[in-house]
Amino acid sequence: MSHRLLVLAFAALSAFATGGQAQSSFVKGSAEGWAKGAVGGGNVAAVFPTTPAQLVQYLGDSVPRVIVLKQTIDFTTTGTTVTETGCAPWGTGAGCQEAINGANNWCTTSAPSSSVPVTVSYNSAGPNGMTVTSQKTLVGVGSSGVIKGRGLKIKNAQDVIIQNIAITDINPKYVWGGDAIQVLGSSLVWIDHVYTARIGRMHIVFGLTASPSVTISNSWIDGRTSWDTTCTGAGGNGYHYWGVFFSGAGDKVTMKGNYIYHTQGRSPKLEGNTLLHFVNNYINDNVGHAFEGEDSSSTAAAIVEGNVFQNVKTLFLTPLTGKYFTAPDTTTNAQCSTALGRACQINAFGSTGGLLPSSDTSFFSRFSGYPSVSAVPASQVAASVVASAGNTL
């Protein structure tokens, strides 16, 4: 064997042994923003789960993995049906979302005072997300990679890529019925081209421990539902409230190119000392509010630039805690160069209320070391996001 072939063979063997420093060929593109450099399971040989048990094993073991999903993995038929006493926090009419009491006794400790006991029946798989450990890539093929009835829990993990999959139908009638994606105390996490729909609680939620390098890109949060928290008259309005919640201490998140559609709140919600770059997203058809932050001790901060807010009843729920730079005009936007290395893009609004233009730059030093993230004018955002967001690769 020639010296060159020996070198190439040794390099390939070394990459395999360490979980891979190169990205798998199944993954398209690479992360921008805080998760830049994420390679997930690297370039190890791919595995192709065909059963729920295999998917759980591959995601949760201690081996670097590239997990390729080519079909629907259905957990709605694997769990048991649990029937117990829950509550109706917002009403008992048709279309009103009810709640599971759960281990946190939510119905008895936190539910609205108007809540009444009801019998709930739900699938036991939903409330318990699948553990995702370090050095994992989960990627779908075309539009065929679907997880139904159970979400993902990325906890205390490093280097995870979730790309081009759909997560759907997690006990949508019930709050605490399950989250699509949880991120807790993890770093180098890239969530890209993911579609979430008909979720009981949060589409994406962060825990109370720091996740300092996460990018969420090109994903579609679809809030269309048959059960919701707005229960007036005969029932709900079909808009999901539990969207995106950054609640951790020390979270640093980039959200770029996402489609947040048909919601009524938490689009997103920021608490703790979350640092968010919210760029070139399309928020469309929100009958409540987009940004939310109600913790009086919160030091959350966000640069909000180059986004389109269309048919959003209220941009910011007030009172609002935290700090925001909302890219109000070209002159002010030049100040973004100290945080992003370039000027910010102006946001675009259509039929949107509750605007809160802010030029607060006092938190820009917290973006120290932030990788360069490109941005296009808001005029280019809506069409491109609708065309590409979700599991469309």
Q: Which residues are catalytic?
A: 266
Which of 269, 321, 277 shows the shortest CA–CA distance to 299? Answer: 321
- Tokens read off for 12: 């390939």
- Tokens read off for 45: 């040989």
Report the alpha-carbon angle 42-58-34, nearest 5: 45
Count of other CB atoms within 10 angstroms of residue 247: 19
Which of 56, 41, 30 shows the shortest CA–CA distance to 149? Answer: 56
Q: For the chain, what is the HEC assignment?
A: CCHHHHHHHHHHHHHHHCCCCCCCCCCCCCCCHHHCCCCCCCCCCEECCCCHHHHHHHHHCCCCEEEEECCEEECCCCCCEEEEEEEECCCCCECECEECCCCCCHHHHCCCCCCEEEEEEEECCCCCCEEECCCEEEEECCCCCEEECCCEEEECCEEEEEECCEEEEECCCEECCCCCEEEECCEEEEEECCEEEEECCCCEEECCCCCCEEEEECCEEECECCCECCCECCECCCEECCCEEECCCCCEEEEECCEEEEECCCCCEECCCCEEEEECCEEEEEEEEEEECCCCCCCCEEEEECCEEEEEEEEECCCCCCEEECCCCHHHHHHHHHHHCCCCCCCEEECCCCCCCCECCCCHHHHCCCCCCCCCCHHHHHHHHHHHCCCCC
Pair 41, 18: CB distance under 8 Å: no
